[in-house]
Amino acid sequence: MAGDDHLKQITFHNQKTAPIGMGTWRVGEGNAETTKQEIESIHYGLNHGINVIDTAEMYGEGLAETLVGKATQSFDRSDFQIISKFYPYHATPKLIKASLEKSLNRLQTDYLDLYLLHWRGNTPLAETVSGLEDVKKAGYIKDWGVSNFDLSDLNELASVPDGLNCVVNENLYNLTSRGVEYSILPWQKKHNVDFVGYSPFGSDKNEFLKLKPEIKDIAAQKHVTVFQLLLAWAIRNNDVLSIPKTSSLSHFEDNLKALEIEFTPDELDLLDSYYPKPTHETPLDVI
């Protein structure tokens, strides 16, 4: 498989993989030039050992999945994992199957590695889990998971039949949104549910991240960019798959270098002093 053997690795979904994947929100929605860059970016990632792609039926109402399908056709399907997600109002067994068929068509593949409930809606979890187990048994997905679940959602999930077959929960995670460290990450470790952290840079145009100016100074002292610092911080404990989105090869190159950045205990303490570790349960941050 193409890849960089020196890359830091974690075990994600029972496979050794780099601790970063590729986000695809807002891709596939632009003109021929941006489409070309987005495809090149996915090729760059796959050629450099970044082999988990995160997408959703919501992203551009299928346009992101279509682009991922195009971009991945020349790669061996067993060399990368695709995560996709369905809307909460498609969370009944019948609608899950219908959404999944459309996603598979757009992605030009016959299976997903992981299929996630994008966020909680009104369908009882037992019904959603039963629908997910059906499509898993039929071979259309390898496994399933959830996204934007807080502690009470996870506990409720654990209480329904087959609920603990959930293998992933994907939540917002970056330096300024670290509430999940208090009880969600420990819960997931205990129950063998992998954690995917989204929006390490605060999403598009970083609009959900108002960084304190001192963070810039800390990055400068380490001779790294703020983006590299943020990404390296998100993956510092080898227990998170962070999924930054970039459609720029030079940004991608920068992001790969974040895999080599380590923090001293003093640097971590300093970052904690600006963005403290959670000391109590807080409402889940979402984008």
Ligand X SMILES: NC(=O)c1ccc[n+]([C@@H]2O[C@H](COP(=O)([O-])OP(=O)(O)OC[C@H]3O[C@@H](n4cnc5c(N)ncnc54)[C@H](OP(=O)(O)O)[C@@H]3O)[C@@H](O)[C@H]2O)c1
Chain residues in the site for ligand X (CB under 6 A): 23-25, 54, 118, 147-148, 170, 198-205, 227, 243-248, 251, 254-255, 287
Query: Alpha-carbon distance 47 to 18, whole Å?
Result: 12
Q: Which is nearer to ligand X, 138 or 220 (CB)?
A: 220
Closest CA to 54 of 4, 115, 99: 115
> Measured at CB, which residue is nearest to ligand X?
23
Q: Which is nearer to ligand X, 60 or 200 (CB)?
A: 200
In the complex, minimum distance from the CB of residue 265 to ligand X, in angstroms, rounded to a whole number: 26
Q: Which is nearer to ligand X, 107 or 279 (CB)?
A: 107
Chain-centre distance for alpha carbon 49? 16
In the complex, minimum distance from the CB of residue 260 to ligand X, in angstroms, rounded to a whole number: 14
| DSSP letter (8 states) at residue 5 | T
DSSP per residue over 35-85, as a string?
Answer: HHHHHHHHHHHHHTT--EEE--TTGGGGHHHHHHHHHHTTS-GGGSEEEEE
Q: Which is nearer to ligand X, 128 or 247 (CB)?
A: 247
In the complex, minimum distance from the CB of residue 279 to ligand X, in angstroms, rounded to a whole number: 25
At which residue do the structure tokens 């860059």 appear?
37
Q: How far apart are the first and last CA of the chain?
A: 34
Sign of the Cα torsion 83, 120, 132, 12 reads positive
In the complex, minimum distance from the CB of residue 244 to ligand X, in angstroms, rounded to a whole number: 4
Closest CA to 20 of 227, 274, 206: 227
Closest CA to 115 of 123, 208, 161, 137: 137
Catalytic site residues? 59
In the complex, minimum distance from the CB of residue 141 to ligand X, in angstroms, rounded to a whole number: 17
Look at the chain and count its residues.
Answer: 287
In the complex, minimum distance from the CB of residue 245 to ligand X, in angstroms, rounded to a whole number: 3
Q: Which is nearer to ligand X, 137 or 205 (CB)?
A: 205
Q: Which is nearer to ligand X, 121 or 161 (CB)?
A: 121
DSSP per residue over 91-159, as a string?
Answer: -SHHHHHHHHHHHHHHHT-S-EEEEEE-S--SS-HHHHHHHHHHHHHTTSEEEEEEES--HHHHHHHHH
